[in-house]
Amino acid sequence: MFNIYKYCQYQEDLLLFLFQNNPQICPYGLYAEQLSGSAFTAPRSYNVRTWFYRIRPAVCHKPFSRIDQGNMSNDFSSTVPDPAQTRWKPFDFPKKGEEIDFVNGLATICGAGDPKSRHGIAIHVYSCNISMTNKAFYNSDGDFLIVPQEGSLYIKTEMGKIVVNPNEICVIPMGIRFNVSVSGNTRGYILEVFDAHFELPSLGPIGANGLANPRDFEYPTACYEDLDINGYKVISKYQGAFFEALQDHSPFDVVAWHGNYAPYKYDLSKFMVINSVAFDHADPSIFTVLTCQSVKPGVAIADFVIFPPRWGVADHTFRPPYYHRNCMSEFMGLILGKYEAKEGGFLPGGASLHSMMTPHGPDSECFNKASTEDLKPVRVADGTMSFMFESSLSMAITDWGAKICEKVDDEYYKCWQGIEKKFNPNWRDETNGESGPPTKKRR
């Protein structure tokens, strides 16, 4: 993905023995197993796979049986379409007395497409308060991009351990088994893509450096456990449903691995921001961290975009996000702080969805303030981190997202009702036509 071929090892001499991927006899009595994240014949720049050297091959489990999947769904055809601007108040933590782990705390808000055809996305939230015990989970349908909002995630994967804190993200590619431990109430967002894997966006005329730099993505080092446990549960998300298989040992028994298909984390504070330094508001695509591209050039199945702390210096410009109608769907979440365009009702742990071609933009308070303030250089979004999952697909809200969660803000539309008509046909005579960049005069 990032043209990184990373070697992780239990002991240096293990991989020194392996001048080939699949020897007749592996050192230390291990089994060789390949995990393919792309077709064998995919172009080399897109070809991803990893070789495991593990205590037991992953196939050592009993038959799968279907289990309850709670509020997680990939069925987006059963709900009635609704183009309205939608905002959710912060999603609840588990109720007092409830014990819910990461898998049981998954709930789907919206999405589009179908994992059977390997095309589409889903947006979930998770809310949990206990660790997964003797349980592993993997996604057969696509990649997870996990955005913690409250509480840290202590993730154990087949490749090793990752700690993900709020203001960091983690990507767990399709098929990789993982377990999540938490300490108390924990909440966050997940973007799931069915089509392909996440990658860095092309930089074009920006050049070789900028935005999210490859050097800042962190991968785990092999860390194995040799545990015999009767009734260990391995849960597979397959075609949108959950299936469970039992085995008598921990699946996190990889002693060494090498390859370019692995989970990774990224600290959002390391994003190198690009912004307008003259006039006008640049499009939010300049804040893209990762993208999952469609077959159409430049059109994303999903982009992960952030709005980090930065300087605002544009002259003669309405600096907050502009009023907008979009051929893309925009789902936003707030990790911490206050979002500049709506400082009131958009809260950490909540979300909003502005569907395809549905108008949206700053509320009346933001517009009035930004239209009259002194345009000197100012810091924007200090102490804040908001993000957007943007997609070329038209997303449907699930029953859980529309009704069951009971978090829809029915008064969201009111934030635009105070916008006044300001049209003045005598404007030119009253102002001498003074508008536009100060270096130019209107004629």
Among 10-19, 73-82, 273-282, the range scoring the smallest mean pLDDT is: 10-19
Residue 15 confidence (pLDDT) above 90: no
Instruction: Indicate if the pLDDT at residue 441 is higher than 50.
Output: no
Which one-letter amino acid corresponds to residue 382? D
Q: For 315-353, what is each residue's pLDDT tens digit?
A: 999 998 899 999 999 999 999 998 875 666 789 999 999
Question: For residue 371, is it left (φ>0), alpha (ψ between -120 and 50) or beta?
Answer: alpha
What predicted TM-score, i.e. pTM, was given to this entire model? 0.93
> Residues 61, 197, 281, 316: which is the catalytic one?
281
The pLDDT score that the predictor gives to residue 363 is: 86
* CA-to-CA separations, 203 to 210, 224, 288, 420, in angstroms, rounded: 8, 38, 10, 40
- Strand pairing report for 351-354 and 329-336: antiparallel
Q: Is 281 a catalytic residue?
A: yes
- The arithmetic mean of pLDDT across residues 221-236, rounded, is 95
pLDDT mean over 38-63: 95
**Distance (Å, whole) CA 271 – CA 277:** 18
Q: Which residue has the tokens 């092999």?
A: 222
Q: Can you tell me the distance from the alpha carbon of 50 to that of 159, in angstroms, rounded to the nearest whole number?
A: 10
Tell me how many degrees the CA angle 314-319-324 measures, rounded to the nearest 5. Answer: 130
The mean predicted confidence, pLDDT, of the chain is 91
Domains of the chain by start residue, with CATH: 62-251+262-268 (2.60.120.10), 271-416 (2.60.120.10)
pLDDT digits (tens, 9 = 90+) for 170-187: 999 999 999 999 999 999
Confidence of residue 17 (pLDDT cuts 50, 70, 90): low
Strand partners, 218: 265
Residue 5 has pLDDT above 50, yes or no: no
For 233-268, give the DSSP string. EEEEEETTEEEEEEEEE-S--EEEEEES---EEEEG
- pLDDT confidence of residue 3: 40
Per the model's pLDDT, the better-predicted residue between 440 and 318 turns out to be 318
Lowest mean pLDDT among 96-100, 147-151, 346-350, 438-442: 438-442
pLDDT at site 27: 86
Q: What ranges make up the beta strands (E) of 133-185?
A: 135-139, 143-150, 153-157, 160-164, 168-172, 178-181
Over 90: is that where the pLDDT of 442 sits? no
pLDDT over 90 at 151, yes or no: yes
At residue 9, the pLDDT reads 45
Binding-site residue numbers are: 324, 330, 339, 360
Q: Give start and end residues of each alpha helix (H) in 5-105.
A: 12-17
Note the pLDDT tens digit of each residue in 282-314: 899 999 999 999 999 899 999 999 999 999 999
pLDDT number for residue 13: 57
**Residue 52 pLDDT class (50, 70, 90 cuts):** very high
The least confident of 10-24, 72-86, 256-270, 317-331 is 10-24
Tell me the mean pLDDT in the region 52-56: 95
The pLDDT value recorded for residue 20 is: 85
pLDDT band at 431 (very low <50, low <70, confident <90, very high): confident
Helix (H) or strand (E) holding 354, with range, is strand 351-354
Query: Which tens digits make up the pLDDT trace of 29-48?
Result: 999 999 999 999 999 989 99
Q: Among 143-157, 248-262, 335-349, which is the least confidently predicted range?
A: 335-349
Distance CA 41, CA 359 (A): 43
The answer to which of 173-182, 242-251, 400-409, 429-438 has the lowest mean pLDDT is: 429-438
Neighbours of 326 (CB within 10 A): 15
Structure tokens at 294: 């469609």
**What token pair was written down for 85?**
């601007």
Output the DSSP codes for 29-58. Answer: G-EEEEEESS-TTS-GGG--EEEEEESS-T
| Length of the chain (residues) | 443
Q: Which residues are annotated as a binding site for Fe cation?
A: 324, 330, 360
Please give the share of the chain, as a percent, with pLDDT higher than 90: 81
